[in-house]
Structure 1
Amino acid sequence: MKSLSYISSLILVLVLQSCSDPKTTKQSTGGTNAMVKNAENKNTILFFGDSLTAGYGLEDPAQAFPSLIQQKIDHLNLPYKVVNAGVSGETTAGGKGRIDWILKQKIDVFVLELGANDGLRGIPVEETSRNLQFITDKVKAKYPNARIILTGMMVPPNMGADYAKAFEQIFPKIATKNSMSFMPFLLEGVAGDRKLNQGDGIHPTAEGHKIIAENLWPILVENL
């Protein structure tokens, strides 16, 4: 999980990197108006993250884990649509800057996946924590009934053992403070495995995204 090959590549690549389309279901009756009404009645799951969420480097955005979650939802005929709001290179400060715009759309489940780029740039953990809390507070204030899921991340040991430990602890602390569902490490079972990562050793392949989706799914289901 914390392989040195993954970690050494992480510092070189992820910092340098500056959606899901829901499957359209044909209606047997009612035509276009029925389709629009059906879409409006669906709840929204929004993935707010960086290049890992955006699906950087994949041949098709539909291979990214948020889209794979949508496929699972469609298969079960659940009334949810997925919105992929991942931006490559995003930091928590960047997320803080665009959260108001994102919240203009109704959100029922908010998946927060940010922080990796903060760690790679050595941003003080206090700042990262404040930004994540700010984003969380914004979501809660605008949509108090929305469920929030936080995904954790790790940084390379060459950032310093003390910093790496403090950084890793940001996420469970935020999750506990806000009674949020928590996924300790987004890349569990993927990081460090060359077969599951692209040539940069950082961004998951399509197969890697499948594992992320499988790991995240049980946590997400608890919030539907």
Structure 2
Amino acid sequence: MRMLLIFCYFSLLLLGNSCGESSEKTTNANTIDTTDSTEVVNTNKKSILFFGDSLTAGLGLDTNEAFPAIIQNKIDSLNLPYQVINAGLSGETTAGGKNRISWIFNQKVDIFVLELGANDGLRGIPITETKQNLQAMIDFAKEKNKDVEIVLTGMQIPPNMGQDYTNEFKNIFPELAFKNNIKLVPFLLDNVGGIPELNQPDGIHPTAEGHKIVAENVWTVLREVL
């Protein structure tokens, strides 16, 4: 039953992100909001850049309800010298992320949380292309700051594209984490995806309560880096 719910969750997301339309032109709750939520970092603190899609942006919620803001609250409660930058953009693919990463890194980034790939999988983009784009972003982050800590968030998709594609997509993230010796959040939406009460009416984006769980999924790994 759990897997069926997750399947339905991502099937709805696939319908909301039609391959035939530009993801940068739609604005309803099921698809794209191109408002860039990147925040300015306090230079007196080290920076944690969350670079992702609508899950990072917190589509449908106030910015302070999205999981990056929840993590900022945790950091503040522990008096740690870090400031979160939310660079989430709804509808973003790995290709889009690769294209905009250079100006995002105009300031020094100490910790880079890479949350991209879900839209690639739902659109059936070739596995090799998604993997190459993610690797390019990892390489870019390291080139900009050789001491940067990188956290990659894993994602899973339903078997719409066939079981082979589904399995290969799921394996992208642990393979890249191992290859690059970086931290991995195994599944960003663990205990959230497919659970109606933790998602907004569109059945796609987590509610404020859902984002609290997503924040815990990320924090479990991120706290080892801080």
Which residue of 2 is the match for residue 146 of structure 1? Answer: 148
Per-residue CA deviation, residues 130-166 of structure 1 (Å, 9 max, x unaligned), is 0000000000011110100000111121121111111
Q: After the TM superposition, which segments of 4 or more aligned residues of structure 1 sit over 4 Å from their partners?
A: 19-22
How many Å apart are 1:105 and its aligned residue? 1.0
Q: How does 1:124-203 map to 2 (within 5 A)?
A: 124-203=126-205
How many Å apart are 1:7 and its aligned residue? 2.8
- Give the aligned CA root-mean-square deviation in angstroms: 1.7
CA distance in 1, matches of 2:38, 2:114: 16
How many Å apart are 1:10 and its aligned residue? 2.3
Per-residue CA deviation, residues 105-148 of structure 1 (Å, 9 max, x unaligned), is 11000000000000111100000000000000000011110100
TM (norm. structure 2) is 0.88
- Give 2:69's aligned amino acid: S
Which residue of 1 is the match for residue 99 of structure 2? Answer: 97
Q: How does 1:73-88 map to 2 (within 5 A)?
A: 73-88=75-90
Which residue of 2 is the match for residue 27 of structure 1? Answer: none
Structure 1: gaps spanning 5 or more residues: 23-35
How many Å apart are 1:13 and its aligned residue? 2.3
Which residue of 1 is the match for residue 28 of structure 2? Answer: none
**Are the counterparts in 2 of residues 73 and 80 from structure 1 also a CA contact under 8 Å?**
yes
**Are the counterparts in 2 of residues 155 and 164 from structure 1 also a CA contact under 8 Å?**
yes
How many Å apart are 1:218 and its aligned residue? 2.0
How many Å apart are 1:5 and its aligned residue? 2.3
Higher-Rg structure is 1
Structure 2: gaps spanning 5 or more residues: 24-30
Task: Give the match's secondary structure for 1:141.
Answer: helix
TM (norm. structure 1) is 0.88
How many Å apart are 1:20 and its aligned residue? 7.7
Which residue of 2 is the match for residue 116 of structure 1? Answer: 118
CA distance in 1, matches of 2:178, 2:202: 33
Identity fraction in percent: 60
- Give 1:208's aligned amino acid: G
How many Å apart are 1:41 and its aligned residue? 2.0
How many Å apart are 1:202 and its aligned residue? 1.3
CA distance in 1, matches of 2:63, 2:39: 9
